[in-house]
Amino acid sequence: MDTPDESDPWSISKPALYRELQRSQQNDETIVLATIVNVEGSAYRRPGAKMLISADNESLGAVTAGCLEEPVVDLASTVREEERPQVETFDLMDDEWGLGLGCNGIIDILLEPVDASIEPVLAALHDRRPVTVVTAVRSDNPAVSIGARTVISTNGDVSNSHDRSQLPKSVVDAVKTTAETIQNSGKATICDISTSGGDVQVFIDSIEPSPRLLLFGNQNDVHPVSRFGRQVGFEVIVASARGSRSSSSDFPCAHEVYATHPTDIHELTDERTYVVLMSHNLLDDQLALESLQFAPDVPYIGLMGPQERFEQICDKLAKDGTAFTADQLERVSTPVGLDLGGGEPMQIALSIVSEVLAIHNERTGGRLKDKKGPIHDRVSIGTDGS
Site for a second copy in 276-335 (CB under 8 A): 278, 280-284, 305-309, 332-335
Among 76, 79, 103, 276, binds a second copy (CB under 8 A): 103
Q: How many whole angstroms separate alpha carbon 36 and alpha carbon 109?
A: 4
Q: Looking at beta carbons only, is 174 or 287 nearer to a second copy?
A: 287
Sequence-distant (≥ 6) Cβ neighbours of residue 54 within 8 angstroms: 24, 29, 31, 60
Sequence-distant (≥ 6) Cβ neighbours of residue 100 within 8 angstroms: none
Q: How many CB atoms lie within 10 A of CB 96?
A: 10
Among 79, 232, 237, 292, binds a second copy (CB under 8 A): 232
- 243 binds a second copy per the rule CB under 8 A: no
> 25-44: which residues touch a second copy (CB under 8 A)?
42, 44
Q: Looking at beta carbons only, is 275 or 336 nearer to a second copy?
A: 336
Least CB distance from residue 364 to a second copy, whole Å? 6
Sequence-distant (≥ 6) Cβ neighbours of residue 294 within 8 angstroms: 266
Q: How many whole angstroms separate alpha carbon 254 and alpha carbon 227?
A: 8
> 56-75: which residues touch a second copy (CB under 8 A)?
62, 65-67, 69
Q: What DSSP character marks residue 5?
A: T
Q: How many whole angstroms separate alpha carbon 130 and alpha carbon 123?
A: 10
- 116 binds a second copy per the rule CB under 8 A: no
Sequence-distant (≥ 6) Cβ neighbours of residue 71 within 8 angstroms: 90, 97
Among 110, 238, 313, 349, binds a second copy (CB under 8 A): 349
Mark 198-227 with x for binding to a second copy (rule: CB under 8 A) and - for no binding: -------------------x-xxx-xx--x
- Three-class secondary structure of residue 110 per DSSP: strand
- 106 binds a second copy per the rule CB under 8 A: no
Give the residue from 113, 105, 16 showing the smallest Cα distance to 68. Answer: 105
Q: What DSSP character marks residue 39?
A: E
- 189 binds a second copy per the rule CB under 8 A: no
Among 46, 84, 176, 261, binds a second copy (CB under 8 A): 46
Q: Looking at beta carbons only, is 75 or 146 nearer to a second copy?
A: 75
Among 56, 98, 102, 142, binds a second copy (CB under 8 A): 102
Parallel, antiparallel, or unpaired: how do β-strands 86-91 and 300-303 relate? unpaired
Number of residues that bind a second copy (CB under 8 A): 86
Q: Per CB under 8 A, which region of 157-165, 171-179, 258-266, 357-365 contacts a second copy?
A: 357-365
Least CB distance from residue 17 to a second copy, whole Å? 10
Asked if residue 153 lies in contact with residue 159, where contact means CB atoms within 8 angstroms, the answer is: yes
Burial class (CB in 10 A: 0-12, 13-18, 19+), 236: buried
Least CB distance from residue 85 to a second copy, whole Å? 24
Q: Looking at beta carbons only, is 82 or 377 nearer to a second copy?
A: 377
